[in-house]
A and B are shown apart, each in its own frame.
Chain A
């Protein structure tokens, strides 16, 4: 399922770093109800279902869904363009990935870019947020 390659691609991209996305602000399946960062944008990766092959032609398994939530604390901004800017760059970074080995024993084959949510308010974290869906295709290394 290539969590490692997916994560590394996001946290090591210099443009995303400039937008506040880095090793300290990207989290897998954040389960606490406390906001992970008060001073920066942050992103939470929700790893979803991993289905069987859809058309029977995939090498290994079907894609794994991952939903990326990008947040900005409401005290910092109420401009959803800031959120969209991060998502746009993530689309570019992820769509460019081809056969990238991760240190978790999986090789990410490619990522299919999916849809995005509307502008949302996360009243739990008190942030503005949007999320984007991706389908991650991978094989065991």
Chain B
């Protein structure tokens, strides 16, 4: 090998790996926060406001809720949308979904989450 051959020295690999790891943690925390917010705040509010039926007892509307879940310590997140009255299944499936609210909510909240996560990641990139 020639003694004076041009070389590239790449230093700081450990710091880079650490920074990437920290960035991953930040992203994970940010996504978790958004999932929690969507499930506990946005989803119940949206469902209660948009449920298409006319209330009688009000129980069906009041019982609409969403439950967030972290899978394998944040490798994935899940939100389950549910109602608490026994006849919720009929509201969802009768008359071709005329009174459905859970699937429309899943579609709406899914898009909202993607939008927020997209915007949030841009900001994280900017400050990292």
Binding site for B on A (CB under 8 A): 30-31, 33, 44, 46, 48-49, 51-56, 62-63, 65, 67, 69, 71, 117, 120-125, 129, 131, 133
For B122, the closest partner residue in chain A by CB is: A56
Please, what's the 1-or-0 string for B110-127, where 1 marks a CB less than 8 Å from any CB in chain A? 011011001000000000
| A54 touches which of B96, B97, B100, B118 (Cβ 8 Å) | B118
Minimum CB–CB distance for A55 against chain B, Å: 5
Contacts of B115 in A (CB 8 A): 51-54, 62
Contacts of A129 in B (CB 8 A): 93, 96
Q: A53-B115, A65-B104, A123-B90 are in contact. List 4 more A-B contacts (CB 8 A).
A: A44-B97, A51-B111, A62-B111, A122-B95
Q: Using a CB-CB cutoff of 8 Å, which residues 15-45 of chain B contact chain A? A: none
Interface class of chain B by DSSP: helix
Minimum CB–CB distance for A127 against chain B, Å: 8
| B114 touches which of A54, A71, A117, A120 (Cβ 8 Å) | A54
Minimum CB–CB distance for B78 against chain A, Å: 14
- 7 A-B pairs within 8 Å (CB atoms) are namely A30-B96, A44-B97, A55-B118, A120-B93, A121-B93, A122-B94, A129-B96
Question: Could you tell me if B107 and A46 are in contact, using CB atoms closer than 8 angstroms?
Answer: no
Size range of the interface on B?
Answer: 10 to 19
For the complex, is B108 an interface residue (Cβ under 8 Å from A)?
yes
For B118, the closest partner residue in chain A by CB is: A55
Q: How many A-B residue pairs have CB under 8 A?
A: 68
CA A66 to CA B96, docked complex, whole Å:
13
Question: Could you tell me if A125 and B118 are in contact, using CB atoms closer than 8 angstroms?
Answer: no
User: Which among B90, B114, B115 has the highest number of chain A CB atoms within 10 Å?
Assistant: B115
CA A48 to CA B95, docked complex, whole Å:
16
Contacts of B114 in A (CB 8 A): 54-55
Contacts of A31 in B (CB 8 A): 98
Contacts of B96 in A (CB 8 A): 30, 44, 46, 69, 71, 122, 124-125, 129, 131
Contacts of B103 in A (CB 8 A): 67, 117, 131, 133
CA A46 to CA B100, docked complex, whole Å:
10
CA A67 to CA B106, docked complex, whole Å:
12
